[in-house]
Amino acid sequence: MNLEDRIRRRQRRDAGPALVREYETLSPAAHVENPVGRGPTVERVLNHFDPIFDGRTPSNLYLHGPPGAGKSAVVTALWRKLDQLPMETQPVIHTSTRVQRQSSPTFVYLDGRRIDSAFAFYHALLSAVESDAVPASGVRTATLRDRLQDRWRTADSSVVVAVDHLDDGEGPPTAVLDHFESLSEYVCWLGIGRAKPEATAVAERIGDAIRLDAYHHQQLGDILSARASAAMSERTLGHQQARTIAEWADGDAHHALAALFVAADRADSRERTRLTDEDVRVATERLSTDAVSLARVLTLPDNRQAVLRELVDADATARSSVATAAEAVAASLSGSLSEGSIKRFIYEMAEAGILERVETAAGTDHGRRPSRVEARFHVPVFRRLFDLR
């Protein structure tokens, strides 16, 4: 990381306003309070789960669509609002004029990428609904399951669990959902994934499915303008610049926001007050629309992210094989992680699709050929966010 650059930026910001006010808000992994252009989808989700406010348990729901279509944005924003309702009695959410009051239903959000076992599932659920710390070791899976069952067996309201990124992890798309079979009949779920329901076993478990199509260019332009207004100084992004980014991203909000982030960071580093067409052009040329979601990287443990941070700054020679990459990263981290651990992290992240091992032509006639290590995410965005932490 460039320490002089970081210090200079802080000194300049103390002297006057910067183009970027909030890098975290500008991040493509951040979700805003009110998603742009997804009002009808919010209404459909609310309509499906409306019975829960009358004390009845709704059927399961599946929300699906291509990457960057706003699935996570809709659910995280909606669950955040529902969680802010009064705890004891909550108003019924209706699109009609009928209003009643019932005991509080419980809304829980889980990231399916973090659920790789039954233990992780029960632990995540308990951590979300209990104020006391839930032990992460030294306790049996059955103990956590029984604790959940006892809690919800006597509850006077239903529970809705949103499970995001069903098909972004390493296991089968429905593996997480299998764990719901052991829970109370008062627990239902909202699954969020990319695959069509008929392409998975989800179709057999749901009452309805909602598809989100990719954003239109105009919608994507509105998203960029709204995010720029929230995270940057006024009138920094031009209409044509937003349109250029939207057309490049082709309906994917994650890629569009990544391009805006890189363009804004470039303009900010040059102490400009507005984005230029050159900033936009450079940003779209530096990024790939084949990149995986940056949220997958930012949810990794800190030690994995530290390895990635050093890896993305390593030159091509250092990344020519997993072994040389591990050696270079270990040297940069000054022994805080062993080469063996770093090598294992690289293999794990390659298996998860965050890194790519590109087989090289060179090598011996025996054994595995060396594999060049390449990042599959938006490196400039990750680098800046990591350094700002």
Domain ranges of the chain: 3-31+215-286, 39-211, 294-388
pLDDT of residue 362: 57
Residues 6+ apart with CB under 8 A from 325: 311, 314, 318, 319, 342, 346, 373
Of the candidates 57, 24, 48, 68, the residue with the CA atom closest to the CA atom of residue 252:
68
Degrees to nearest 5, angle at CA 321 with 315 and 325: 55
β partners of residue 324: none
Angle between helices 71-83 and 39-49 (to 10 degrees): 50
What is the C-alpha to C-alpha distance for residues 191 and 206, in angstroms, rounded to an integer? Answer: 9
What does the pLDDT read at residue 309? 97
Angle at CA of residue 112, ends 258 and 81, nearest 5°: 75
| Nearest-angstrom CA–CA distance, 185 and 179 | 13
Task: Give the DSSP letter string of 90-132.
Answer: EE---SSS---EEEPPEEEEEEGGG--SHHHHHHHHHHHH-SS
CA separation for the pair 146, 366 (Å, rounded): 52
Q: Which CATH number fits domain 294-388: 1.10.10.10, 2.60.120.10, 3.40.50.2000, 3.40.1190.20?
A: 1.10.10.10
Please provide the size of the chain in residues. 389
Task: Report domain 3-31+215-286's class.
Answer: mainly alpha
Taking the chain, what is the end-to-end CA distance rounded to the nearest angstrom?
A: 12
Both tokens of 99, joined, read 């209003």
> Per 3-state DSSP, what percentage of the chain is helix, strand, and coil (rounded to 5)?
50, 10, 40
Give pLDDT, residue 244: 97
Quick check: 166 and 196 in contact, CB under 8 A? no
Residue 103: its pLDDT value, please?
58
Residues 6+ apart with CB under 8 A from 25: 227, 230, 231
What tokens does 285 get?
């040329």
39-211 folds as: Rossmann fold (3.40.50)
The dihedral sign for the CA sequence 9, 12, 18, 22: positive
Predicted confidence at residue 76, as pLDDT, reads 93
Q: Are 101 and 59 contacting, i.e. CB atoms less than 8 angstroms apart?
A: no
Q: How far apart are CA 243 and CA 151, in angstroms?
A: 51
Note the Cα 159 to chain centre separation in Å.
23
CA dist 348 and 356 (Å) reads: 11
3 state DSSP class of 355: strand
Which residue's structure tokens are 């997993």? 322
Digits of tens for pLDDT over the chain (389 positions)? Answer: 445 544 444 544 454 568 999 999 999 999 888 888 899 999 999 999 998 888 788 999 999 999 999 999 999 999 988 877 655 444 444 343 333 334 578 899 999 888 889 999 999 999 988 888 888 888 999 999 988 888 777 666 688 999 999 887 555 567 888 898 888 888 899 999 999 998 888 888 999 999 999 999 999 999 999 999 999 988 899 999 999 999 999 999 999 999 999 999 999 999 999 999 999 999 999 999 999 999 999 989 999 999 999 999 999 999 999 999 999 999 999 888 999 999 999 999 999 899 999 887 655 555 566 789 999 999 999 999 999 98
| Residue whose structure tokens are 């300049």 | 12
What amino acid is encoded at 122 in this protein?
Y
